Amino acid sequence: MAVFFTVALMTMACPLLAFDMGQSTRCVAIPHKMHVCKDVGYSEMRLPNFLGHSSLESEVVPHSEDWRPLLQTGCHPQAQAFLCSLIAPVCLDTFIQPCRSLCVAVRESCAPVLACQGHSWPDVLDCDRFPAEEDMCLSHHGKPVPYSFRLFYDYHRLPKSACQNCPYVEEAPESKTILDSFCSHDFAVTAKLHRLRLPTGEPEFEIEGRVEFIRQGPLLPYDTQHLLQQWLLINVRCARALVRPGRSQLYVLTGSVQHDGTLSLTRVFPWHRKDANIAVAFRKWKHHRC
């Protein structure tokens, strides 16, 4: 994922305004191997697309895959619809661009993810370049398009992962330090983080096995594993410091949910087999709490 944003932004070098609405286009089936847009809700797309790509094999499919890691972060429930309206525009009697309001909604949620990787929102996706709401365009008011890499729950009410400063990692902590962290934060969980060895563009990290609650706080049992997975994908630089390639590491994770609903991991404790203090802290927590 390290080179994803650089590669993806380079694919946007052809300005949208350079696309000639009067040029000849053709309708083609969305390829099965174009995973980013395979569940977008329609089966045919226009070529050239709004990015000026005219070849499925050499341009559209490989460049569409560049955006997969961003979509996997779940930065906005309509990010897929927005990007696919440019990469694989629906084949109708007229050109359907994304509305300005859809662009703004996606930008507000996904630009911070780009910023977390050291990149700004691409100039070519300047939302002022898209048609206003009253024009015929793809609106953000419609039902979100399901994306196969995540389940969409109530997006606005659930805690959300966000870019943050890397949490403090403390090796071999005292049991009192761990107990104090349980008491001073909204939640505490144990999770095994696994770093995969995969080709570039694939997600590097996953939560291995179940997430166990020590202190549940505002977290929801059915969403916490997915929430932490998103955190790893967004805060990839922090995640790389936690686990070496091809390895797994069990952690005690403590943090809080901010007023805006974003998750913030604050202190993490690697749990090695020799760390008896963590087990002691667990036993004391069960009996005494805060």
Which of the listed residues 106, 129, 152 is the one where a domain comes to its end?
Answer: 129
- pLDDT computed for residue 270 by the predictor: 96
Q: Answer yes or no: do 72 and 168 share one domain.
A: no
Residue 145 lies in a domain: no
Is there a domain that residue 119 lies in? Answer: yes
Let me know how many helices (H) and strands (E) the chain has, helices first: 9, 9
Give domain status of residue 4, yes or no: no
Across residues 142-147, what is the average pLDDT?
Answer: 45
CATH number for 79: 1.10.2000.10
Q: Are residues 99 and 168 in the same domain?
A: no
**Residues 123 and 49 occupy one common structural domain:** yes
pLDDT of residue 241: 92
In one-letter notation, the amino acid at residue 165 is: N
Dump pLDDT digits (tens) for 56-104: 999 999 988 888 888 888 899 999 999 999 999 999 988 899 999 999 9
CA–CA dist 50, 89 (Å, integer): 7
Higher pLDDT, residue 50 or 148? 50
Confidence of residue 199 (pLDDT cuts 50, 70, 90): low
Top-confidence residue, 121 or 202:
121
Residue 149 lies in a domain: no
3-state class (DSSP) for residue 186: coil
Q: What are the backbone angles phi and psi of residue 128, rounded to the nearest 5°?
A: -65, -15
Can you give the pLDDT at residue 19? 53
Based on the fold, state whether residues 203 and 111 are members of the same structural domain.
no
How far apart (Å, rounded) are the C-alpha atoms in residues 262 and 256?
8
pLDDT digits (tens, 9 = 90+) for 257-271: 999 899 999 999 999
Collapsing DSSP states into helix, strand and coil, what is residue 144? coil
CATH number, domain of 166, equals 2.40.50
Same domain, 87 and 199: no
**Residues 103 and 181 placed together within one structural domain of the fold:** no
Q: Are residues 171 and 120 in the same domain?
A: no
> Is there a single domain that holds both residue 32 and residue 84?
yes
282 within some domain:
yes
- Split into its structural domains, the chain has a count of 2
175: part of which helix (H) or strand (E)? helix 175-184
3-class secondary structure, 174 = coil
pLDDT band at 287 (very low <50, low <70, confident <90, very high): confident
Q: Are residues 114 and 212 in the same domain?
A: no
Domain span at 281: 160-286
Specify if 99 maps to a domain. yes
Please check whether residues 119 and 188 belong to one and the same domain.
no
pLDDT single digits (tens) 32-57: 999 999 889 999 999 999 888 989 99
The predicted structure's pLDDT at residue 144: 44
Q: Does a structural domain hold residue 141?
A: no
- Range list of β-strands (E), the chain: 26-29, 44-47, 97-98, 137-138, 168-169, 187-195, 205-215, 248-257, 263-270
What's the rounded Cα separation, in Å, for the pair 113 and 128? 21
Domain match, 210 and 263 both:
yes
Residue 187 has pLDDT above 50, yes or no: yes
Q: Which of 7-21, 74-88, 159-173 has the lowest mean pLDDT?
A: 7-21
Torsion over CA of 263, 268, 272 and 277, rounded to 10 degrees? Answer: -120
pLDDT, residue 197, reads: 80
In a domain, residue 19? The reply is no
